[in-house]
Amino acid sequence: MTAFCLAQLSDLHVSATPLQGIVPTEPMARAAVAAVLRAEARPDACVLTGDLVDAGTADSYALLADLLRPLEARMPVYLMPGNHDARGPLREVFTHHRYLPAEGRLNYRVEIGPLALIALDTLVEGSGHGCVDAATLGWLDAALAAESSRPTIVALHHPPFATGIAFMDRLGVREGAAELEAVIARHPQVKRVIAGHVHRAITLGWAGTIGMTAPSTAQQIALEPAADAPEAFVMEPPGWLLHRRGGGVLRSAVMPVERSAGPIDYA
Ligand SMILES: [Fe+2]
Protein backbone atom coordinates (compact mmCIF):
# COMPACT_ATOMS: atom_id res chain seq x y z
CA MET A 1 0.00 0.00 0.00
CA THR A 2 1.50 3.34 -0.98
CA ALA A 3 -1.41 5.76 -0.48
CA PHE A 4 -2.16 6.56 3.11
CA CYS A 5 -4.14 9.14 4.99
CA LEU A 6 -3.53 10.25 8.59
CA ALA A 7 -5.97 12.56 10.36
CA GLN A 8 -4.64 14.85 13.10
CA LEU A 9 -6.92 16.24 15.78
CA SER A 10 -5.46 18.50 18.44
CA ASP A 11 -6.23 20.36 21.62
CA LEU A 12 -9.66 18.90 22.24
CA HIS A 13 -9.58 20.09 25.89
CA VAL A 14 -12.50 17.77 26.62
CA SER A 15 -14.44 18.87 29.69
CA ALA A 16 -17.92 18.16 31.00
CA THR A 17 -18.57 21.89 31.37
CA PRO A 18 -17.83 24.69 28.85
CA LEU A 19 -14.39 26.29 29.19
CA GLN A 20 -14.43 29.95 30.21
CA GLY A 21 -18.20 29.45 30.38
CA ILE A 22 -18.50 29.67 26.58
CA VAL A 23 -16.45 26.92 24.85
CA PRO A 24 -18.40 23.64 24.79
CA THR A 25 -15.35 21.46 24.18
CA GLU A 26 -17.04 18.09 24.53
CA PRO A 27 -19.69 18.57 21.79
CA MET A 28 -17.05 20.33 19.68
CA ALA A 29 -14.79 17.26 19.97
CA ARG A 30 -17.71 15.02 18.99
CA ALA A 31 -18.25 17.24 15.92
CA ALA A 32 -14.56 16.89 15.00
CA VAL A 33 -14.77 13.10 15.25
CA ALA A 34 -17.83 13.20 12.98
CA ALA A 35 -15.90 15.38 10.49
CA VAL A 36 -13.04 12.85 10.30
CA LEU A 37 -15.52 10.01 9.83
CA ARG A 38 -17.33 11.69 6.94
CA ALA A 39 -14.18 12.98 5.15
CA GLU A 40 -14.07 12.03 1.47
CA ALA A 41 -10.39 11.18 1.84
CA ARG A 42 -11.29 8.42 4.33
CA PRO A 43 -8.42 8.60 6.84
CA ASP A 44 -6.76 5.29 7.71
CA ALA A 45 -5.62 6.38 11.19
CA CYS A 46 -5.93 9.33 13.53
CA VAL A 47 -3.42 10.95 15.87
CA LEU A 48 -4.39 13.35 18.67
CA THR A 49 -1.54 15.76 19.45
CA GLY A 50 -2.21 16.52 23.09
CA ASP A 51 -4.41 18.59 25.39
CA LEU A 52 -6.77 15.68 25.01
CA VAL A 53 -8.72 16.87 28.04
CA ASP A 54 -8.68 20.15 29.92
CA ALA A 55 -8.17 19.02 33.51
CA GLY A 56 -6.29 15.70 33.34
CA THR A 57 -8.85 13.83 35.47
CA ALA A 58 -9.99 10.21 35.08
CA ASP A 59 -13.56 11.47 34.57
CA SER A 60 -12.55 13.65 31.64
CA TYR A 61 -10.53 10.80 30.06
CA ALA A 62 -13.63 8.60 30.39
CA LEU A 63 -15.58 11.27 28.51
CA LEU A 64 -12.85 11.35 25.86
CA ALA A 65 -12.89 7.55 25.55
CA ASP A 66 -16.64 7.67 25.00
CA LEU A 67 -16.50 10.30 22.26
CA LEU A 68 -13.59 8.53 20.50
CA ARG A 69 -15.47 5.22 20.35
CA PRO A 70 -16.96 5.74 16.84
CA LEU A 71 -13.51 6.72 15.55
CA GLU A 72 -11.81 3.72 17.16
CA ALA A 73 -14.41 1.45 15.56
CA ARG A 74 -13.14 2.59 12.16
CA MET A 75 -9.39 3.20 12.50
CA PRO A 76 -6.42 3.06 14.88
CA VAL A 77 -6.31 6.12 17.15
CA TYR A 78 -3.06 7.32 18.73
CA LEU A 79 -2.87 9.60 21.76
CA MET A 80 -0.16 11.74 23.28
CA PRO A 81 -0.21 14.11 26.24
CA GLY A 82 -0.16 17.91 26.23
CA ASN A 83 0.34 20.31 29.11
CA HIS A 84 -3.30 19.92 30.20
CA ASP A 85 -2.97 16.12 30.41
CA ALA A 86 -1.81 13.82 33.21
CA ARG A 87 -0.02 10.57 32.38
CA GLY A 88 -1.49 8.49 35.24
CA PRO A 89 -5.22 8.96 34.56
CA LEU A 90 -4.60 8.83 30.79
CA ARG A 91 -2.94 5.42 31.12
CA GLU A 92 -5.62 4.16 33.54
CA VAL A 93 -8.50 4.93 31.19
CA PHE A 94 -6.78 3.96 27.92
CA THR A 95 -5.35 0.57 28.96
CA HIS A 96 -6.53 -0.81 25.61
CA HIS A 97 -4.10 1.56 23.83
CA ARG A 98 -1.31 -0.99 23.98
CA TYR A 99 1.24 1.14 22.10
CA LEU A 100 1.45 3.41 25.20
CA PRO A 101 4.48 2.48 27.34
CA ALA A 102 3.52 1.18 30.81
CA GLU A 103 5.78 3.65 32.61
CA GLY A 104 7.81 6.80 32.10
CA ARG A 105 7.29 9.18 29.23
CA LEU A 106 4.67 8.29 26.64
CA ASN A 107 7.09 8.08 23.71
CA TYR A 108 6.31 5.47 21.07
CA ARG A 109 6.81 4.49 17.45
CA VAL A 110 4.13 2.78 15.38
CA GLU A 111 3.89 1.85 11.73
CA ILE A 112 0.73 2.94 9.99
CA GLY A 113 0.61 1.78 6.39
CA PRO A 114 3.74 3.00 4.60
CA LEU A 115 4.47 5.60 7.31
CA ALA A 116 6.13 5.51 10.69
CA LEU A 117 4.61 7.74 13.36
CA ILE A 118 6.86 8.67 16.25
CA ALA A 119 5.24 10.40 19.22
CA LEU A 120 7.32 12.38 21.70
CA ASP A 121 6.00 13.17 25.16
CA THR A 122 6.85 16.82 25.97
CA LEU A 123 4.71 17.10 29.11
CA VAL A 124 6.22 18.73 32.21
CA GLU A 125 3.48 17.98 34.72
CA GLY A 126 2.23 21.14 36.43
CA SER A 127 3.75 23.46 33.78
CA GLY A 128 2.49 25.03 30.57
CA HIS A 129 5.81 24.71 28.75
CA GLY A 130 7.31 21.50 27.39
CA CYS A 131 10.62 19.70 27.28
CA VAL A 132 12.32 16.99 25.23
CA ASP A 133 14.60 15.24 27.69
CA ALA A 134 17.93 13.57 26.93
CA ALA A 135 16.47 10.05 27.16
CA THR A 136 13.77 10.95 24.63
CA LEU A 137 16.35 12.46 22.26
CA GLY A 138 18.54 9.35 22.45
CA TRP A 139 15.58 7.04 21.92
CA LEU A 140 14.39 9.11 18.93
CA ASP A 141 17.82 9.17 17.30
CA ALA A 142 18.12 5.38 17.65
CA ALA A 143 14.58 4.79 16.36
CA LEU A 144 15.22 6.96 13.29
CA ALA A 145 18.59 5.33 12.62
CA ALA A 146 17.08 1.82 12.90
CA GLU A 147 14.71 2.38 9.97
CA SER A 148 15.90 5.18 7.76
CA SER A 149 13.98 4.35 4.59
CA ARG A 150 10.40 4.62 5.90
CA PRO A 151 8.73 8.06 5.54
CA THR A 152 8.23 9.28 9.09
CA ILE A 153 6.04 11.80 10.87
CA VAL A 154 7.28 13.01 14.26
CA ALA A 155 4.44 14.25 16.46
CA LEU A 156 4.60 16.12 19.75
CA HIS A 157 2.31 18.51 21.61
CA HIS A 158 4.57 21.53 22.11
CA PRO A 159 6.02 22.90 18.84
CA PRO A 160 9.82 22.79 19.08
CA PHE A 161 9.95 25.85 16.77
CA ALA A 162 8.80 29.44 17.23
CA THR A 163 5.31 30.00 15.83
CA GLY A 164 5.30 33.78 16.11
CA ILE A 165 2.57 33.83 18.76
CA ALA A 166 4.70 35.33 21.53
CA PHE A 167 2.93 34.16 24.66
CA MET A 168 2.64 30.63 23.31
CA ASP A 169 6.27 30.58 22.21
CA ARG A 170 7.22 31.44 25.79
CA LEU A 171 5.37 28.22 26.69
CA GLY A 172 7.13 26.15 24.02
CA VAL A 173 9.83 23.48 24.33
CA ARG A 174 12.17 25.15 26.81
CA GLU A 175 14.65 22.27 27.03
CA GLY A 176 15.90 20.12 24.18
CA ALA A 177 14.54 22.08 21.18
CA ALA A 178 17.97 22.75 19.61
CA GLU A 179 19.06 19.16 20.26
CA LEU A 180 15.82 17.87 18.71
CA GLU A 181 16.40 20.07 15.67
CA ALA A 182 19.86 18.51 15.25
CA VAL A 183 18.48 14.95 15.53
CA ILE A 184 15.68 15.60 13.01
CA ALA A 185 18.08 17.26 10.59
CA ARG A 186 20.22 14.10 10.55
CA HIS A 187 17.31 11.91 9.39
CA PRO A 188 15.83 13.04 6.06
CA GLN A 189 13.07 10.41 6.18
CA VAL A 190 11.27 12.75 8.61
CA LYS A 191 8.71 14.36 6.31
CA ARG A 192 6.80 16.32 8.94
CA VAL A 193 7.13 17.47 12.52
CA ILE A 194 3.53 17.97 13.63
CA ALA A 195 2.37 19.63 16.84
CA GLY A 196 -0.57 21.25 18.59
CA HIS A 197 -0.54 23.65 21.57
CA VAL A 198 -0.94 26.90 19.60
CA HIS A 199 -4.55 26.15 18.53
CA ARG A 200 -3.90 27.40 14.99
CA ALA A 201 -2.55 26.06 11.70
CA ILE A 202 1.00 27.34 11.12
CA THR A 203 3.51 25.87 8.64
CA LEU A 204 7.23 26.55 8.36
CA GLY A 205 10.54 25.04 7.32
CA TRP A 206 12.45 23.61 10.28
CA ALA A 207 15.33 21.16 10.74
CA GLY A 208 15.44 20.43 7.01
CA THR A 209 11.81 19.34 6.99
CA ILE A 210 8.32 20.85 7.36
CA GLY A 211 6.93 21.85 10.74
CA MET A 212 3.18 22.22 11.17
CA THR A 213 0.80 23.00 14.00
CA ALA A 214 -2.87 22.03 13.95
CA PRO A 215 -5.98 24.06 14.70
CA SER A 216 -7.85 23.13 17.86
CA THR A 217 -11.15 21.30 17.67
CA ALA A 218 -12.34 23.94 20.19
CA GLN A 219 -11.17 27.56 20.59
CA GLN A 220 -8.39 29.05 18.42
CA ILE A 221 -5.60 31.28 19.70
CA ALA A 222 -5.53 34.84 18.40
CA LEU A 223 -2.78 35.43 15.82
CA GLU A 224 -1.33 38.50 17.50
CA PRO A 225 2.13 39.33 16.15
CA ALA A 226 3.08 41.84 18.89
CA ALA A 227 5.41 40.49 21.59
CA ASP A 228 3.27 42.04 24.33
CA ALA A 229 -0.08 41.01 22.83
CA PRO A 230 -2.63 39.81 25.38
CA GLU A 231 -3.16 36.08 25.90
CA ALA A 232 -6.42 35.67 24.04
CA PHE A 233 -8.51 33.16 22.16
CA VAL A 234 -10.98 33.59 19.32
CA MET A 235 -13.97 31.50 18.28
CA GLU A 236 -12.81 31.05 14.69
CA PRO A 237 -14.10 27.91 12.98
CA PRO A 238 -12.35 24.81 14.40
CA GLY A 239 -10.38 22.46 12.19
CA TRP A 240 -8.04 19.50 11.86
CA LEU A 241 -5.23 18.37 9.59
CA LEU A 242 -5.17 15.66 6.97
CA HIS A 243 -1.74 14.27 6.03
CA ARG A 244 -2.14 12.26 2.86
CA ARG A 245 0.58 10.31 1.12
CA GLY A 246 0.15 9.38 -2.54
CA GLY A 247 2.60 8.91 -5.39
CA GLY A 248 5.48 9.12 -2.94
CA VAL A 249 4.51 12.63 -1.77
CA LEU A 250 3.09 13.64 1.60
CA ARG A 251 0.57 16.48 1.37
CA SER A 252 -1.09 18.17 4.34
CA ALA A 253 -4.42 19.97 4.24
CA VAL A 254 -6.34 22.02 6.80
CA MET A 255 -9.86 20.65 7.08
CA PRO A 256 -12.96 22.31 8.58
CA VAL A 257 -15.00 20.62 11.30
CA GLU A 258 -18.19 22.32 10.20
CA ARG A 259 -20.28 20.56 7.57
CA SER A 260 -20.61 22.64 4.41
CA ALA A 261 -22.66 22.48 1.22
CA GLY A 262 -21.20 20.53 -1.70
CA PRO A 263 -19.38 19.17 -3.55
CA ILE A 264 -21.29 21.22 -6.13
CA ASP A 265 -20.55 20.56 -9.81
CA TYR A 266 -19.33 23.51 -11.89
CA ALA A 267 -22.15 23.99 -14.39
FE1 LIG B 1 -4.32 23.41 24.15
SS3 category, 32: helix
For residue 116, give the 3-state DSSP assignment. strand
Cα 51 to ligand 1 centre (Å): 5
Q: What is the pLDDT of residue 142?
A: 98
Biggest CA–CA distance in the chain, Å, is 58
Ligand 1 centre distance from Cα of residue 91 (Å): 19
Residue 253 Cα to ligand 1 middle (Å): 20
pLDDT score, position 228? 87
Contact 22, 60 (CB under 8 A): no
**What ranges make up the beta strands (E) of the chain?**
4-9, 45-49, 77-80, 108-112, 115-120, 130-131, 152-156, 173-175, 190-195, 202-206, 209-213, 220-221, 233-234, 239-246, 249-256
CA 103 to ligand 1 center in whole angstroms: 24
**Distance of CA 158 from the midpoint of ligand 1 (Å):** 9
Distance 84 CA to ligand 1 centre (A): 7
Measured in Å, residue 198 CA sits from the centre of ligand 1 at 7
Q: Taking the domain 4-251, which CATH number applies?
A: 3.60.21.10
CA–centroid distance, 229 to ligand 1, in Å, is 18
Distance from the alpha carbon of residue 264 to the mean position of ligand 1, in angstroms: 35
Question: Separation of 11 CA from ligand 1 center, angstroms?
Answer: 4
Find out whether 47 and 7 touch, Cβ atoms under 8 Å: yes
With H, G, I as helix, E, B as strand and everything else as coil, classify residue 120.
strand
pLDDT given at position 267: 86
Q: Report residues of the chain scoring pLDDT below 70.
A: 1-2
CB count in 10 Å sphere of residue 141: 17
Cα(184) to ligand 1 centroid in Å equals 24
Task: Give the pLDDT score at 192.
Answer: 98
* Cα 70 to middle of ligand 1, angstroms: 23
- Ligand 1 centroid, distance to 248 Cα (angstroms): 32
